[in-house]
Structure 1
């Protein structure tokens, strides 16, 4: 990734862009229709993109206001723009993550952004209308029930698909195009490609059987995991792990304790979508003989701008974190410096040592095996 910095910020958002300010002024003088607002914000630079549904969208100019029903998308968009200024609506789950992680520190406005959808992704069209975005980012592969209400209200919908590295790169490219920064999108995709090549080279040099590993989610007495049909089917083999849940076919991923015991994972990585901690797994007597428990190799996955376990701008950091825990013999303990560099390049943010601890969940992972490699 290029090391050019457009700005550097710590703890405060930069000034409004000219497009955002223009749109805001148009609203305050009493525009009565969406068309009038669009005309007032137009720069004369028409932008045409094709989303992942194959549908073509034409904008009058770079989008100044964007709303998201899709959970991980705002953090990716903010990295592309190196700003939160254009984001006006988000999913409830995104808001929860923003309020508990680094994203809210980097972009304080993200902790109080209007919610336009919940876990079912059905948009609240009334709220969307109040926000009046230039584009709404929505799932493009979950049927017309989540897209048609928005399109019927006159809003361009950027339809996305999810689950692969290629999808992630498509998001980066599409976001860069709708804000008129295609060169930034190429820069970020190139970085992802460079990091993919790097981790593959590292794994190829690591001999021996691949450690048995899994992602585990625990909510109350219910356990679930991921299948190879999702991103982890790509991510775990990439970093040199044998994904023990490769035979899971349930849509919910729900499993019972007996299945975990039978798999006997050597490494357990706990989901960032629940409140479970390594201590919860260690204290469950049923897992006393599971290799990961006996060897203290249960880890809470990091939370950066968003939860690292899903496709995001910080996925290359997740790959490094996973590989270093799977193969603790590595001597190039540079993850903290990689986090520092990435947050600067992606978000224009100078992350502190305490904040790196927060991202890496040192509070709950400190005593786990081999986690000392991530301590300062």
Structure 2
């Protein structure tokens, strides 16, 4: 028995020694220009936002070291979350830390989980205000990333930061390079075509036909539509996200309309898209928006240039396929060779342990 205990003790010492050699102190600069020092790859991480990106870039093994998570953004994608749970049930055991936007974020719970690194979205970091000092005083390294801004610079920077946290720098660089090449290719083709920019309106359509939903200015779908060569009608009136006056939508008369949704909606007429959603149902919901007051006069409605997109595929390194989707929707001849949905699924095939099935992009014809 003494010999067995000695072997176990020696094995534990070896593991601890190996991990201490493997994890080395690094100093990185996050998206806010803050210098942050921690041992990488981090052994205890709390993921405040972008959990699927964290897995894609850091690999599934990175979740062996996730000790806390703000789960709601993943659980909002109900069937996507269930798909991951079926593959990795232990995700359900990761403690939740609450939400910044609803003021349920628990500083005490976060500190009690003893993380080496707390990864936050830009908006979360800013929303926590004075609580940031409490967390840092507890010895927690806070790294700020940002896919919400939907800029090439921040997408690339955030991807490489996750690579640093997880010890997957080469994988992160590859994913970042593919994203950049995709965007550069679209921009090059748009420049060569030199066509007038179509006007485009994007709306999160969960509230249904009878209520105007959120649209986007210079981030998320607003930024994607602009990168894809569109003239976003919401940009002059909405800085980040908000609701556009119904009369303004009619006055702007967009050439293209994109309604986005999750797997479920708050209305029987709300837009639904994503994992497990049947294409016929997505098209039925999309068709219903033609019945909005005054919309029958819109150019996009009359020409059937109405599209549906999965809201879970934005503010993410996976959204390169959505830039393709918008480009093809606005310039169908110039980008007829692209298959955006195949590109979206190909990212899963290459970088994630699950393969979603459902409707992620749709068009009325």
* TM-score range for the pair, normalised by the shorter chain length: 0.7 to 0.9
Q: Determine if the alignment matches structure 1 residue 295 to structure 2 residue 322.
A: no
1:327 and 2:317 correspond: no
In the alignment, structure 2 segments of 5+ residues that lack a partner are: 1-11, 272-285
Q: Please identify, of 83-92 and 177-186, the stretch whose mean Cα deviation from structure 2 is larger.
A: 83-92
TM alignment of 1:98-137, pairs within 5 A: 98-101=77-80, 104-105=83-84, 109-110=90-91, 113-120=94-101, 123-137=105-119
> How many pairs are equivalent?
318
Q: Which residue of structure 2 lines up, in the alignment, with residue 215 of structure 1?
A: 202
In structure 2, C-alpha distance between the alignment counterparts of 1:133 and 1:345, rounded to whole Å: 29
State which of 226, 231, 236 in structure 2 corresponds to 1:237.
226
Give the Å deviation of 1:258.
1.0
Equivalent-residue separation in structure 1 for 2:313 and 2:195 (angstroms): 27
Q: Which deviations, in whole Å up to 9, do the C-alpha atoms of 1:145-175 show, x marking residues without a partner?
A: 3422322333221133551221121111111
Compared CA separation, residues 174 and 246, structure 1 to 2 (3 A): same
Are 2:171 and 1:168 aligned? no
1:182 and 1:92, CA in 2 relative to 1: closer, same or farther beyond 3 A? closer
Q: Tell me by how many angstroms 1:124 deviates.
A: 1.1
Residues of 1 paired with 2:70 and 2:177: CA distance? 28
- Residue matched to 1:360: 360
Contact 1:317–1:335 under 8 Å retained in 2: yes
Q: Which residue of 1 aligns with 2:47?
A: 68
Q: CA RMSD in A?
A: 3.1
Structure-2 separation of matches of 1:246 and 1:111:
39
Is the contact made by 1:141 and 1:160 (CA closer than 8 Å) also made in structure 2?
no
Q: Deviations over 1:73-111 (max 9, x none)?
A: 222211111214333333343132343327843655446
Q: Which whole-Å CA distance do the structure 1 matches of 2:115 and 2:130 have between them?
A: 19
Residues of 1 paired with 2:347 and 2:95: CA distance? 28
Matched, 1:42 2:3: no
Q: How many angstroms apart in 1 are the aligned matches of 2:190 and 2:169?
A: 32
Q: Is the 8 A contact 2:59 2:352 kept in 1?
A: yes
8 Å CA contact retained: 1:227, 1:249? yes
Give 1:48 shift.
2.5
Which structure has the highest helix share of the two? 2
Distance in 1 separating the partners of 2:178 and 2:115: 30
Q: How does 1:173-252 map to 2 (within 5 A)?
A: 173-206=160-193, 208-218=195-205, 219=207, 221-228=211-218, 230-232=219-221, 234-249=223-238, 252=241
Post-superposition offset of 1:247: 0.8
State TM-score, norm by structure 1.
0.73
Mapped to 2, the partners of 1:103 and 1:319 lie a distance apart of 27
Going from structure 1 to structure 2, the CA distance change for 1:336 and 1:232 (only over 3 Å counts) comes to closer
Find the aligned partners of 1:78 and 1:359 in 2 and give their Cα distance. 22
**Is there any run of 5+ residues in structure 1 with no aligned partner, and where?**
1-24, 27-37, 370-376
- The structural deviation recorded for 1:279 is 3.8
3-state SS of the aligned residue for 1:115? coil
Q: Which residue in 2 is equivalent to 1:12?
A: none
User: Separation in 2 of the partners of 1:154 and 1:126?
Assistant: 13
